Amino acid sequence: MKAFNSVCIVGLGYIGLPTAVVFALRAINVVGLDVNARAVEKINSGEPHIVEPGLADALRRSVDAGYLRATTTPEPADAFLIAVPTPFRAGIETHDPDLSYVEAASRSIAPVLKKGDLVVLESTSPVGATEEMAAWLAQERPDLTFPQKNGGHSDIRIAHCPERILPGHALTELVSNDRIIGGMTKECSARARELYKMVVEGECIETDCRTAELAKLTENSFRDVNIAFANELSLICDRLGINVWELIKLANRHPRVNILQPGPGVGGHCIAVDPWFIVSQAPDEAKIIRTAREVNDGKPEWVVAKIHQAVADYIETHSEQPRIGCFGLSFKPNIDDIRESPALRIVESLARLYPGQIDVIEPHLHELPAGIKTQANLVRSVQALQSCRILVMLVDHDDFKAMPVPLASDYTIIDTKGVWLNRPA
């Protein structure tokens, strides 16, 4: 098989753009394809439209060296990596996956495919999505052969290689982490492995596409179940008047116990979404996975109820409405990503309950999301400490950990991350 002289990354978001940069930094010609014309314009000027440590400098070097450019129009390439969203279908209570973005991306690149090309689905997807992608491509290009009918002799190679990076460490983990490569045939897996070994220092393990799809869902479901255990412990400890962080610290002294830390819920584009894909496809079997999702999805409502009670107590004592300071909006510390963020869900609920009384402290955002921007204020921590009487810790940003612990005598403190309640004042 010929070498890969060019790679097209379809979708230039939190996964696609760092992936494009990683390939470009190794002197591989990369074209990024995205429907967002503004993002394409910024990327071509060497400026990222997302926040990721090290990305701005790496992108600028890649663009300046001529190895990376972005476009809104599909172009020929030797390999196509599809990294578009796979959210839930709108208006459906069963959390069914929405593959419309994958379908649109597939059909958009189909006209520029040629014999010998490789198409890889990187988007986290339900089992069978890679085969659906191959079917959409075949519909658009009946002049080419695909693995579902021609097996290892097909013109086009199809594979699934799910990303498994930690936001905030994308550029490092895209290179160092092992990759699971699931081809529709062994030939597809081998071809995809050739591509990834151009940039990946970790091991590239070959399997079939359905196993690769379920592997990613399994990884995130495992983490979700373990987080749910910690979150459920936090509810129990609150009922019994016990400090959950002290409890976990003590329990973790057992050599075979490693309980995770509780929080206000679970967010992000993976852990808060992927387990539902398993539940959707195997509802009778996925009992623990479903329960974990329900525990974690219910935690933001529990936090809002705690704040609501604190407001009621303050009004009873002071005969006035308190201001509420909410520390953090992103789904994890030290990033700007608010996708599926439980902190955002909490603040949205509070803004509806107490419009005009909410101050948000989020050092990684320059403005509040549209849904709360008219009902809440984005302020600095020093302002919140001056004006707010109820303080709610939602995201354990390093900036917040560096703050002095507020005095419990001055505020009502609701700390969902153990930033203040787990260390001395």
Active-site residues: which are they? 216, 270
- Distance (Å, whole) CA 179 – CA 181: 6
Instruction: Confirm if 323 and 352 have CB atoms less than 8 A apart.
Output: no
What is the enclosing helix (H) or strand (E) of 101? Answer: helix 100-109
d(CA 97, CA 1): 35
Rounded Cα–Cα distance for residues 191 and 141 (Å): 21
Distance CA 24, CA 7 (A): 9
Q: Please say whether the beta carbons of 69 and 32 come within 8 A.
A: yes
Quick check: 390 and 322 in contact, CB under 8 A?
yes
Give the strand pairing for 324-327 and 390-393: parallel
Residue 191 phi, psi (nearest 5): -65, -45
Tokens standing for 117? 């090309």
Token pair of 424 as six digits:
């001395």
For residue 398, give both structure tokens: 């390093």
Cα–Cα nearest to 270, from 337, 316, 349, 326: 337
Compute, in degrees rounded to 10, the torsion defined by CA atoms 40, 41, 47, 51: -50
**CB–CB of 395/413 below 8 Å?**
no
406: CB partners within 8 A, 6+ apart: 385, 391, 413, 420, 425
The whole-angstrom separation of Cα 351 and Cα 320 is 17
Q: Are 415 and 234 in contact (CB under 8 A)?
A: no
Beta bridge partners of 29: 6
The answer to whether the beta carbons of residues 121 and 110 sit under 8 Å apart is no
SS3 call for 183: strand
Q: Which two tokens stand for residue 53?
A: 């440590």
Amino acid at 77: A
Q: How many CB atoms lie within 10 A of CB 247?
A: 16
DSSP secondary structure letter of residue 321: P
